[in-house]
Amino acid sequence: CCAGDTIHDHDLALAYVLEHYPALLPSFAILPDSSKEAVLFTQARMTFNHGWFVQAEGPPGAMLSPLKQALGSAAAEDLAFYFLHWVTDLSG
């Protein structure tokens, strides 16, 4: 993202604020670094779209490649937290 860009995805918009202006979200700013990384993983670094996967809205390679990449580099806790994030997204 660059200054002046419009961000249409709410996760990416939140990630931008978390990365560039963390003081605007005091509850995030006071987290330990490891917890901040877990939150940032769910918002910006995990590009797997579980909604597309569940609803079969894209080709398997395009949907599963980001998940495969994340499985190789992410901590198990980060993946678990991502799926908790996904469930909360579903609930509205």
Which candidate, 70, 4, 5, 6, places its Cα nearest to that of 42?
Answer: 70
> For the segment 24-52, what is each residue's pLDDT rounded down to a tens digit?
999 999 999 988 888 888 777 767 777 77
Confirm if 43 and 15 have CB atoms less than 8 A apart.
yes
The pLDDT of residue 1 is above 60: no
The pLDDT of residue 91 is above 60: yes
- HSE value, Cβ hemisphere, 13 Å, CA-based, for 67: 14
Render 2-18 in DSSP notation, one character per residue. Answer: -TTPPP--HHHHHHHHH
Which pLDDT belongs to residue 26?
95
